[in-house]
Structure 1
């Protein structure tokens, strides 16, 4: 095929096209269109695998941000890239290939090829990766041009990568071995999360808005990018009050004109009628549509086309389709306006009858409630009985007039069920009691009694929203939160019945036994069709606890939580959806996410959802989210929340995070509040995958509890600034032993948990003695240490130092803590947050690490050779950590903290050129010119003391750019 008869088309849809023939470091300057809006890092990471894969596909409906995403990705990754925006004329393969040929030739500065094979050879030219991005590829799906495009990709070498974006999936044969790995980003991935929408509106558009209203906006629009943008345009013209009202507009009227013009403009009359009927249905099926429309079989042929256009989406929990929220509200309004009132009422009546017959009671009741047909709604409730009050089935009751709730037992029951599913447990209990007083029917009485029992079972104020248990008995999950979770977990055998799976899994989590918790939780998560609340709750727990550390795979964890949120909201379980909303915002690691999470927690408190607020506060503290209060104070407040809920296990865990083993008053305070002991020798919750940021707290608060009966004492040691030892929270006085014995202990502390051979110990400390005398001295020292540790530590015969063959080992038991190990963990955590691009969390971890480093390791040992290597290593690491803290704090605009961290870096290691240069640069850039000059002179004095000519010194001349922080 020759391209000679076709013009070689360079796309001119973006600025800078005249620069196409010039390149910068091998990258075409014309590139993609100018990227605007919010850069969503999680989506860039979703596309990144295309750097090694042959094919990437971004398929989503109109207005979801496909082009923006690819433009951001291309700009960020700086790849050699050809960008081509398809138009209908490109359905001719010669035209499409001619445009690509011209672009590739301009990129590699070669003559234009005349065939697909030559184009493939040209793309291979220098072997460097080449990316071809085709936008709006749906315009050629199913045409000869698409076939030729697939042929081009098959002819191209592995260094050529194709990324296509459009509203339809290309019809490529993805079973080919060349396409073994395909990177797919779908419409669900592109939906704006609440934290992203909040950041877009506030940080990009400068629009101040209540975080809760942002959450309402995202729910009303399903995170549709075009709708969020249209809201911004609408809100720019509004007063704050009107802006608030628009965000609460569940119909999203501001997006309707865009829908008519750009999404629904080419609908046929029959398709529009079908969508109007479908808008009445929570779950759209061909049978329901045909029963309401009339002609049998018509929907079966039309619905797949509407799915292909994303006007309907496949439900992933039940067999059927769902309509996106904005479209549903729009077509509901269109259906009402297109019919006279009599015909409209008759159609709605047929829909109610059909839905009741097929068991979709919640959908039928919502139609009746929307139309204000309360007499029919009451009759339906009475006919259906308990089936109408299953979890999530009474969300429609929000439309009930207060007068009906106060006078009718069935409506009172519906409101109680709604409040219970919303986590408003005290109010649910009060309304259930009202329903019980009004009940004049045995079934109504039974339902009211169960709801009253459930809403009071979880404490003196209300029941927590976790499912489990029936009337008259305390649910096992509730028992696990009160005390002895290990006993509860063991009582629910490994082969627990389905109704106890969630309780068995969560009880094991509370007992610190993650391994035992996972099997029942996984089994429970699969029971969506039998017990949806328990299954979704299990999925939420698994999202956090299935891996060893929180946020080990943040994108995967967030996607799992987002799925729970979506399913819970559709199922009417608003308490669980709200909890997932808050957790998703917390795990985003962004400032906007923190604002959303804080607003959700406050919303829980306002509603009376005390369990939701406490659980969100727990996740926020564990994820190191700044809440404006010191972390220890936050844990103390959290302990008070859990105590008020009667959750002693969770309260004691929070106290263990707030207390310090170095403070006897904190330990005593914790002991007073813990009137129920932990059971068993397993580590507690703070020792599971959610690693404690303060293991000292765990060791101190759990004195005599976590280790009770285990035979292994809880150990807490500090090495920075001098050795101190706590056993089970008690400070050990080492002044009674000789200096050499204390040195033996320091050697064992540096190797805590690992055996140290007796010859190594003897030769290190008594090198001037013969072997027999050295071993004797070692035995005397070990005996003295054991005597002091046993006497002043546990006093019950449990040994902290054990003999293993020819070695000695300092035993590390449950709840043990070491400042060296904690320092290492914090630096690893900071590194992980840097990789995740979560600078605020990295700053928190780095600050904690720098705070731990109070002085050198064992300064009391002087220049002893055995400690020098360890001492120098930690000094250098602490100085580098302070420098990293300074740079990261500066990037967040925290100038004072950055300067202080840089000064600390110099203080820790005054011989580090990098630390001095960083401090000088930060002082100068923060406007402290005089202090910067004084610091520069001190640096020059330090260099002079080493006999080094400082020259112009840092900050002068050519050094200026070198010292500026990144």
Structure 2
């Protein structure tokens, strides 16, 4: 091998044959699949990884090289390697390095591929894996033709893996038919939500909750480069700030826009760029729709070519319809608004809406009309007699703007259905009632009343409460109510699964009855429900998830995770978030059962964040799933936490039969006596960016508390040193309980907190009762909230240099939102907003201090942080503009002015108005 390196051909560029550094998340479903198909027993000796830029091709190829049992050779093609001579010499050199045979490099110096192939036939040479990346760089060249000769004539001990952005000119169809070629495409490379979660936790060391990981997956389409760019943009943020950034991620992300501009859109002709930008207004693409919108011909061929070239364009129905990748779609929508201007963009969306409506695509038309701000058309399509579902949350945000249609019966009914799909049951019931009052029509009133009753039976109730009788009508609303009644009865008691209609509901009943073999038989032999007139759109997806339950409980695997992911994505895309949450809970079961440290952490994060989900039925099902999976995986502490929360929720909702799945043998967690510490322990109480309670640097095991007890501890911590009346506490934490039962629950929770804190080293009585009030009193404890407030206030009457130092210390304490674990609980929202705005004004004041002492760099950073916390804080905008101008960066100052103006434009106000 040293002989090879010492006689490097001057035509060889060593960078082209140097293996890339191993990086990224090893995804067994991809890596293992390619390793398996390229094994000697499979008869497959070639693989093609075909995907658009940034999809993770090179990462996968580098992992294949690293994990190869055989010697491995690497070659990255370039546009300059367009002839046979360059290709042969680079292949010969990299293969000679891998096999330690200088004769290969010598044979390739002739520049003829057949000379290299003949040398590879030598008996003394063993198997080798050759990876060729960036194959698209030599597309259509003599080098590509020579490579086809190499693939056809090489000995089969040489396995070849190709990476390309576009379909190569090789005869891949022959290789596919013969079984010699395996294909991995962009959809295969797309990160699944659980992989995104693992990537951020294990590789980036920046954990995301399951909900945030799922949202980031949707917003980026699982695009590897998008995930990396998001990580780079949020690397310095706290966890709560990072998760808030997920919800704010849009087509205006500078890093993503820059990447797309340089690596995807750069070099496109004006004609192709015009096609992409205008047709993005349609959302769903067909040749006829694009032709009509552009008033041109040949769009079908353009769409087919975009898909063939892997240009972020896909079709799931054999070319009948196409969609742009989510990241490209969002980027193009921003470009439409920015480059065409508001009026032209609205006209474009209005024309798109009319075309989509004429093509029989009402849901897509609603989205286009809403972006065109044609509220009359939106109200017409969402009329009382239609079943259109506006799937895009952005549509509902647009409908809340000033000028949108108000008090329209169709929109009111559509909004009630949206609330129901989101699991906001009480709000949905109220919305159905209001909708019925808007139109004096018996049919419309029946629809609102019946659908409202189908939702109302899922409100919290006792198991002894009487359910309404099943309706006899043959209309879709009555059928929906009948199905809801069947499922609601199932949550109360499953005595005889045979009494339920055959199909997925009976299979689900067998699961709850504990008869998994019979459940599998029922799911396997019953036809899947088909969506159509009179059939709810959610039923096929719910049936699919139910059919996954037996495997999820007994022995889940990667294939099951893929099935669940597909159903979950379909539910989320179809505007069924409650069903999507159930899919995520099943995924959590699969991940916990697969073992490993990070899976246990995922489960704990999931349990800690359940209180932020308003949909309590999803909470119950998720806790049941985690409890079952954790118990079977041996994670008894997690199982105990989840089981306790499930018992509480099942009691509140009136659903005891769901608890039958839980293995109740999991012991309650125990805290060792050795954790008791000395009376002089130092106590730290943290509420900003996440709750924490440490004694002498060791975290107290507050997570072992039941969820309501944890919430009580956080409520008392928020008001540390102040007494709260018990009625105030009960109203905040047990709003549906009577006073007597609320008092009992409060006393039990207080007792468990006292025990937990005592075992953690807190001496004395940390929760003091004063009549009917309770107070958390931790002697000599430091509180990040109190210290942040003190520092922010004390900086006001200091010199700029002193004030800057004090305010910087205050901002270091503000690690994120107040108590993000409790979500939008009413008792924390007002104080959370006050502290966030205080942090924003503190950052803005610190930016002014920095400019006053001649540090514009710090001024820019601090004013940007203020804007991130409160985009409507005008002084911060003025400071960042001034800071950029002071360092001569007029371009950045102009961009800041544009961003400032856009913020106020979104409110319909002039800057500073």
Q: Distance in 2 between matches of 1:581 and 1:317?
A: 29
Structure 1's 147 and 505: CA in aligned 2 closer, same or farther, altered over 3 A? farther
SS of 1:37's equivalent in the other structure is: coil
When residues 658 and 641 of structure 1 are mapped into structure 2, their CA distance, relative to the original with a 3 A threshold, is farther
Deviation per CA, 1:295-323: give whole Å up to 9, x if none.
Answer: 1x231121112222332111359941112
Alignment of 1:910-925 (within 5 A): none
Per the alignment, do residues 316 and 562 of structure 1 end up closer, same or farther by CA in structure 2, a change over 3 Å counting? farther
Separation in structure 1 between the aligned mates of residue 10 and residue 118 of structure 2, nearest angstrom: 18
Question: Secondary structure of 2:480's match?
Answer: coil
Contact (CA 8 Å) 2:49, 2:183: kept in 1 or not?
A: yes
The 10-residue stretch of structure 1 (477-486 or 612-621) with the greater mean CA deviation from structure 2: 477-486
- C-alpha deviation, 1:33, in angstroms: 1.2
Report the CA distance shift for 1:470/1:318 in structure 2 as closer, same or farther (over 3 A): farther
Report the RMSD for the aligned CA atoms in angstroms.
3.7
Deviations 1:857-891 (A, max 9, x none): xxxxxxxxxxxxxxxxxxxxxxxxxxxxxxxxxxx
Q: Deviations over 1:157-192 (max 9, x none)?
A: 332211111112343344358941533222122223
Is the aligned partner of 1:113 residue 2:113? no
> What corresponds to 2:322 in structure 1?
321
| Structure 2 SS opposite 1:131 | strand
Aligned to 1:545: 550
Aligned to 1:46: 33
Partner of 2:842: none
Query: Structure 1: how far apart are the matches of 2:243 and 2:483?
Result: 45
Residue deviations 1:351-404, cap 9 Å, x none?
A: 22222233322222223334444344223322x6232259x5888335443998
Q: CA deviation at 1:410?
A: 2.9
SS of the residue 2:288 aligns to: helix
Alpha-carbon distance change, 438 to 83 in structure 1, aligned in 2, over 3 angstroms = same
Task: Tell me the residue number matched to 2:510.
Answer: 508
Contact 2:75/2:131 (<8 A) preserved: yes
C-alpha distance in 1 between matches for 2:401 and 2:336: 29
Distance apart, 1:82 and its partner CA: 0.9
Q: CA deviation at 1:209?
A: 5.7
Shift of 1:350: 1.7
Contact 1:405 1:412 in 2 (8 A): no
Residue 241 (structure 1) shift? 7.7
Which of 562, 567, 592 is 1:564 aligned to?
567
The SS at the match of 1:267 is: coil
Q: Could you say which residue in structure 2 is the equivalent of 1:386?
A: 386
Compared CA separation, residues 422 and 149, structure 1 to 2 (3 A): same
Residue in structure 2 matched with residue 416 of structure 1 by the alignment:
416
Matches within 5 A, 1:653-692: 653-654=661-662
In structure 2, the CA distance between the partners of 1:357 and 1:600, relative to structure 1 (3 Å rule), is: farther
For 1:611-650, what aligned pairs fall within 5 Å after superposition?
611-624=617-630, 629=637, 631-632=639-640, 634-650=642-658
**Distance in 2 separating the partners of 1:113 and 1:63:** 36
Distance 1:601 1:239 in 2: 20
CA contact (8 A) 1:79 1:130 kept: yes
Tell me, yes or no, if the aligned pair for 1:639 and 1:652 is still in contact at 8 Å.
no
Report what 1:94 is aligned to: 85
**Change in CA separation of 1:596 and 1:435 when aligned onto 2, cut-off 3 Å:** farther
* 1:583 and 2:586 aligned: yes
Give the drift of 1:134.
Answer: 0.5
Once the two structures are TM-superposed, the CA of residue 514 in structure 1 deviates from its matched residue by 4.2
CA distance in structure 2 between the aligned counterparts of 1:243 and 1:393, rounded to whole angstroms: 23
Please tell me whether the aligned partners of residues 276 and 334 of structure 1 are also in contact (alpha carbons under 8 angstroms). Answer: yes
Unaligned runs of 5+ in 1: 1-5, 18-29, 494-500, 661-966
Conserved in 2, the CA contact under 8 Å of 1:131 and 1:160? yes
Residue 353 of structure 2 corresponds to 352
Change (3 A) 1:177 1:11: same
Q: Does 1:36 align with 2:23?
A: yes
Task: Show CA shifts across 1:130-178 (max 9, x none).
Answer: 1011001122344443343233233233322111111123433443589
Match of 1:64 in 2: 55
Q: Tell me, in whole angstroms, the C-alpha distance in 2 between the residues paired with 1:636 and 1:201.
A: 29
Q: CA deviation at 1:616?
A: 1.8
Query: Which residue pairs with 2:192 in the alignment?
Result: 193
Rounded Cα–Cα distance in structure 1 between residues aligned with 2:336 and 2:642 = 52
* 2:488 corresponds to: 478
Q: What is the Cα deviation at residue 265 of structure 1? A: 0.8
Alignment match of 2:154 (pick from 153, 156, 161): 156
Structure 1 residues 11 and 548: alpha-carbon distance in aligned structure 2, compared to 1, 3 A threshold = farther
Stretches of structure 2 lacking an aligned partner (at least 5 in a row): 1-7, 468-476, 669-913
User: Is the Cα contact below 8 Å between 1:483 and 1:649 reproduced in 2?
Assistant: yes
Contact 1:505–1:520 (CA under 8 A) maintained in structure 2? yes
- Per-residue CA deviations over 1:667-706 (Å, capped at 9, x if unaligned) read xxxxxxxxxxxxxxxxxxxxxxxxxxxxxxxxxxxxxxxx
Distance (whole Å) between structure 2 residues aligned to residue 177 and residue 330 of structure 1 = 35
Q: CA deviation at 1:9?
A: 5.2
1:235 aligns with 2:234: yes
Change (3 A) 1:321 1:637: same
Work out whether residues 650 and 658 of structure 2, in 8 Å CA contact, stay in contact via their aligned partners in 1.
yes
Mapped partners of 1:412, 1:425: distance in 2: 15
Query: In 2, Cα distance between the equivalents of 1:468 and 1:622?
Result: 35
Aligned partner of 2:293 in structure 1 is: 292
Counterpart-to-counterpart distance in 2, 1:199 and 1:420: 31
- For residue 216 of structure 1, report the CA deviation from its aligned partner: 3.0
Q: Are 2:346 and 2:373, in contact at CA under 8 Å, matched by a contact in 1?
A: no
Contact 1:276–1:332 (8 Å) recurs in 2: yes
**Cα–Cα, structure 1 residues 208 and 605, in superposed 2: closer, same or farther, change >3 Å?**
closer
Contact 1:84-1:134 at 8 Å conserved across structures: yes
Give yes or no for contact 2:346–2:371 (8 Å, CA) kept in 1: no
User: Does residue 527 of structure 2 align to residue 536 of structure 1?
Assistant: no
Q: Is the 8 A contact 1:46 1:185 kept in 2?
A: no
- Structure 2 counterpart SS, 1:175: helix
Q: Matches of 1:440 and 1:316 in 2, distance apart?
A: 43
Q: Tell me the distance in 1 between the aligned counterparts of 2:579 and 2:438.
A: 30
Taking structure 1 as reference, are residues 629 and 349 closer, same or farther at Cα in structure 2, changes over 3 Å only?
same
Cα contact 1:56–1:162 (8 A) shared by 2: yes
Following superposition, the deviation at residue 528 of structure 1 comes to 5.6
Q: Tell me: CA distance 1:353–1:158, structure 2 relative to 1, closer, same or farther (3 Å).
A: same
Contact preservation (8 Å) 1:311, 1:327: yes
Q: In 2, Cα distance between the equivalents of 1:234 and 1:570?
A: 26
Counterpart residue number, 1:135 = 133
The CA distance in 1 between the partners of 2:553 and 2:543, in whole Å, is: 17
CA distance in structure 2 between the partners assigned to 1:10 and 1:511 by the alignment: 69
**Aligned residue in 2 for 1:257:** 258
**What is the aligned counterpart of 1:77 among 40, 45, 68?**
68
Alpha-carbon contact 2:600-2:638 (below 8 Å) kept? no
Question: Secondary structure at the residue paired with 1:119?
Answer: helix
CA distance in 1, matches of 2:129, 2:576: 45
**Bigger Rg, which one:** 1
- How far, CA to CA, are the matches of 1:583 and 1:513 in structure 2? 19
Partner of 2:807: none
Q: CA deviation at 1:335?
A: 1.6
The alpha-carbon deviation at position 291 of structure 1 amounts to 1.5
Are 1:419 and 1:427, in contact at CA under 8 Å, matched by a contact in 2? yes
The number of equivalent residue pairs is: 625
1:132·1:162 contact (CA, 8 Å) conserved in 2? Answer: yes
> Is the CA contact (8 Å cut-off) linking 2:278 and 2:336 kept in structure 1?
yes
Deviation at 1:88, TM superposition (A): 1.7
Q: Distance in 1 between matches of 2:606 and 2:345?
A: 39
Distance 1:60 1:428, change over 3 A: same
Give the conservation status (yes or no) of the 8 Å contact 1:394–1:414.
Answer: no
Corresponding residue for 1:573? 576
Describe the shift of the 1:612–1:126 C-alpha distance in structure 2 as closer, same or farther (beyond 3 A).
farther
| TM-score normalised per structure 2 | 0.62
What does residue 123 of structure 1 align with? Answer: 120
Q: Which residue of 1 is the match for residue 301 of structure 2? A: 301
